[in-house]
Structure formats: C-alpha cells, structure tokens
Structure 1
C-alpha cells in the first residue's frame, strides 16, 4: 500500500466526512452512557498543510481553506470549523485534524477509541500524536481484520451498546475495495448490531456505484442512509468529483442535521455542476 493521506488532507472529501463525523459524535455523547469508536484506517491523525506533501497537491486550498474563507453559518459546519481552530490552537497554524484527532476532541473521558493503521510509519506517527491519551488505543494492524478482534467492544467488565465504526479506506484497489468494505461491515453488524457504521467512498462516475449501493441496501442494519457531495459535475472518471458516506444505524435525526450542511458545503466548495444527495436506502424501522 502506497497511499499517504498527507497529500489529500483538508480536501473537499475530508471536509465533508469530518463535518458528518462530528455530527455523529455529538449525537452519541448526547446520552450519558459511555460509547466506543473504532477507526479502521486511521492514518496519522494529525497533518501539516504546510508540509511538502500537502503543498504538492494543494488540495486543501479547495477544501478547508475555502471553507474557512466562506464561513457558512450552518451549525454543523460551525461546529467543524471550531474543531479545526481548536486543533490549530493546540498544534500550530498549519495543523489539520484527521479523524482520530476529531474523535478524541469530540468524545468524553469515559469513552474509548481504537485506531488501526497498517503502514508502520503512519502507525508510529499516530501513536506519537496521542501519547498520554488513555482513551486511545493504537493498533498497527489491518483495520478490516480488527473488526473481528475488537467487536463487540469491551473495556474490562464494561460492554458498549453504543458507538461508531468509521471505515475510511484508501481505495487503492478501486472497485475491489467495495467488496472488502461490505464484507467487513456485514461481519461487524453480526458482531455488534447496535453500533453506528460510516463508510466513506470516492465518486468519479456515480453510475459506477450502483452495484455497491444495491449490495449495501441488503446489509443487516436497521437503517441505511447515503449522503453525497459532488463538487463538480459527474462527468470524469479520471478525478475524484466528490465523495459519499454510507451510514448504517445512523443516530436519530442525523439526516436532518446533514441536510443543511450538505447544501452549505455545495455552495462553499462547489463548482459548476455540483450537487448533493441525501437518501435512505433503508429508512429507520
């Protein structure tokens, strides 16, 4: 695996999935019971947008930089921008939070987080970035395999009924990655049916996703929600035109929280032909 998220940190896909991630976390912590989060493809958890890697692609300029300039007033986006600013206050003006940082920021002292990263260099950086946070366990291992080892989640005698499994693979295997992700989600749901699951996916040509979404709708979840943000027209298979989230067992009213956020993100980040989608593949029971 050659993928390095540092080249893409803070781009439009990161902005979208991190807005949604914080909305899910806020819904989870609204109840007093402790919760658990598993990040299967965690990366290093904290990035530098001034790094050579980030500067080489410049993707953050059309993502977080544009959003900070536009500053939409929608509440979920304000929440996300506040988290980015908290990260920069702690780590410097060019810092950008990955999903492990956002999980640590949004969850509470009584909650637990497990982060998996297969690449040794990235796993070591992840471990260094969260030294001293007793809630965080870093596993240098394949995230799909960790589903079997870490679910259902336990901490001592405590068993968690609520929480999130975040699946954010690099899609180096392209369409083959969908099969691996769906198999992992099917097993995870069998092991922990009460968890919330979020699978991120890239969009080049939307019609290519139809087989994946048909299979996703048949997963044994209580509900299945799709949220998508395309920042340009869906007319090129050569670049990522947008991205989506498959959300299984989504928290109550998450769709209502995401709808205005998607519209605001389209307005702030979109070019000609930009669009959004928010649709239940399977409505809540």
Structure 2
C-alpha cells in the first residue's frame, strides 16, 4: 500500500519533533572527524511545497513550523537555518524533508543511503538529493536496505526509521528490523519515528525492544491532545537507541517550551522518558 503522501502533512508538529531530534543527532555524529553511515529508510520526496494544493488542503504546517519561524531561540538555530536554506526569499514556502535536513550535514568522509518506494516520490527524492554527492537514493524497501549495509565500514551509523504506518503490521515490522539491525551493529544510533494513533501499538513496540534486552533507549513525544481513539494522530514520538550524550537533558528543557508554543487549547504536552 503506497497511498500515504507526506506532502499533506509536511511541516506539522510531528515533523517539528522529528527534525529537531534528527538535527541533535547529526550534530553529535559530526562532532568527530571520523565518518559515519546515515540511513533513511523512508525518504519521501525530500522537499515539500507548502503552497501546493496538497499542503494547502490541511495546512498542518500552520500549527507546526509556521509557529516557530519568529522564535529566536538558540536551541532552534540549526532547525531554522535548514528551513531558511530552502527558502531563499525569506518567506516560508518550502519545507525540507528528513533527507534534506541530513544531506546538508554529510561530509566527504560520510555516506548516505536513502530509500523510497513510492513511484511519484522516488524521482523527486532523486532530484532533490542530486546536489549532494555523498547521497545514494534507492527505489527499494528501506528496512531491507538498512540490514544490507550493517555493520558499516566506518563502524559508526545513524539510522532514521520513519514509515507511514499505513499498515498496522508496520509497528511489529519496525521492531523486528531494529532488533535485527541492533544484533548486527549494536553501537549504532537508531531513531524510530512513530505516530500516536493507537497507544497500545506503541506500548507493544516499545516492550518488544526492552524485552529483547536493548539498552539505552530514550523516548521523546510531542502532542497536541491526549490519546484518543477517535481523533487520528494526537501526538508523535521519536524512540532513540544509543542517543547522544545530554540529549535527554536538552529535550527536557526544550520540548515543554515547544509544546506551549504549539498549544491551541491547553492540551499540548511533551514527554521525555528513559525507557531502558
């Protein structure tokens, strides 16, 4: 099933969380001179037009990135810089997907693998990453592609796993893939993005990882409303295995402030948890 299109949701509150966490991890990985492997299992199109009919239909970015552009917070400097890089006129018209956030950080000694199966998004991802020579783009299953490159020659890796979860089986599939990846390369940093639609599926996925004995798992969530079976996605999260040092401390300070900015009716929240 390939009906999900991120262009309807680009720049929403879930993207804000995902990309702020991603930038924190990229900053950590590039602090050392030694190269690293970067893998994005579900790349999407890489860049989204916020003035398109798809983005305009839901205008989710208005309750996400648009609320942050006037905030002069040092903690958001890298995030705002990445967005400004694709909006040369200054107006917020385009929003970078995870591949563009990452590609800007890859150095000559680094390697990037990006996967996308959707027949429309794949050529767009290819075109958007063409200027970045260290990026390889594949029209293939990203979860299988991840396992194929582990362990990396550099012995350092940052992995982003963020499927659409259109199929309910994807929650278990993601957990199984992470367990297999961790078995092949236990010192890599792995980040799983997830939507909070049915909380029990998230709980199940997290319990699978903890029960398997994976250590140092941190979970970061940002939500606009409490869990509800009838409201669709009320929150989203990033589960990170082997997170950067001090990321928990930083997010405990930043995410509650973001929740207050994004809040519409007093129900927004942030959650930072050490899972194992």
Q: Which category of TM-score, normalised to the shorter sequence, fits these structures?
A: over 0.9
Q: Which runs of 5+ in 1 are unaligned?
A: 154-158
Q: Do the aligned residues in 2 keep the contact of 1:77 with 1:261 (CA within 8 Å)?
A: no
Alignment match, 2:255: 262
Quote the Cα distance in structure 1 between the aligned partners of 2:93 and 2:61. 11
Shift of the 135–266 alpha-carbon distance from structure 1 to 2, 3 Å rule, reads same
Alpha-carbon offset, residue 208 of structure 1: 4.9
Structure 1 segments (4+ residues) deviating >4 Å: 90-93
Alignment match, 2:124: 125
Which residue, 212, 227, 236 being the options, matches 2:220?
227
Quote the Cα distance in structure 1 between the aligned partners of 2:148 and 2:54. 33
Determine if the alignment matches structure 1 residue 88 to structure 2 residue 80. Answer: no
Alpha-carbon offset, residue 270 of structure 1: 2.0
- The C-alpha deviation readout for 1:53-79, integer Å capped at 9, x for no partner, is 10111111111111214x162x33232
Which residue, 165, 174, 182 being the options, matches 2:175?
182
Q: Which runs of 5+ in 2 are unaligned?
A: none
SS in 2 for 1:124: helix
Shift of the 279–197 alpha-carbon distance from structure 1 to 2, 3 Å rule, reads same
Determine if the alignment matches structure 1 residue 103 to structure 2 residue 102. Answer: yes
SS in 2 for 1:82: helix
Q: How does 1:58-77 map to 2 (within 5 A)?
A: 58-69=59-70, 71=71, 73=73, 75-77=74-76
Which residue, 238, 242, 245 being the options, matches 1:252?
245
Q: How does 1:18-37 map to 2 (within 5 A)?
A: 18-37=19-38
Q: Do the aligned residues in 1 keep the contact of 2:66 with 2:92 (CA within 8 Å)?
A: no
Alpha-carbon offset, residue 90 of structure 1: 8.6
Alignment match, 2:156: 162
Alignment match, 1:156: none
C-alpha RMSD of the superposition: 1.8
Shift of the 98–91 alpha-carbon distance from structure 1 to 2, 3 Å rule, reads farther
Shift of the 82–95 alpha-carbon distance from structure 1 to 2, 3 Å rule, reads same
Which residue, 141, 166, 173 being the options, matches 1:172?
166
Q: Do the aligned residues in 2 keep the contact of 1:186 with 1:220 (CA within 8 Å)?
A: no
Alpha-carbon offset, residue 147 of structure 1: 2.0
Shift of the 36–42 alpha-carbon distance from structure 1 to 2, 3 Å rule, reads same
Q: Do the aligned residues in 2 keep the contact of 1:147 with 1:187 (CA within 8 Å)?
A: no
Quote the Cα distance in structure 2 between the aligned partners of 1:172 and 1:195. 27
Identify the range of structure 1 (233-242 vs 193-202) with the bigger mean alpha-carbon deviation.
233-242
- The C-alpha deviation readout for 1:211-249, integer Å capped at 9, x for no partner, is 222112234533111111111222343321110111001
Quote the Cα distance in structure 2 between the aligned partners of 1:107 and 1:216. 29
Q: TM-score, normalised by structure 1?
A: 0.90
Determine if the alignment matches structure 1 residue 44 to structure 2 residue 38. Answer: no
- The C-alpha deviation readout for 1:110-151, integer Å capped at 9, x for no partner, is 211110001122111111112142100001101111122222
Count residues with an aligned counterpart. 274
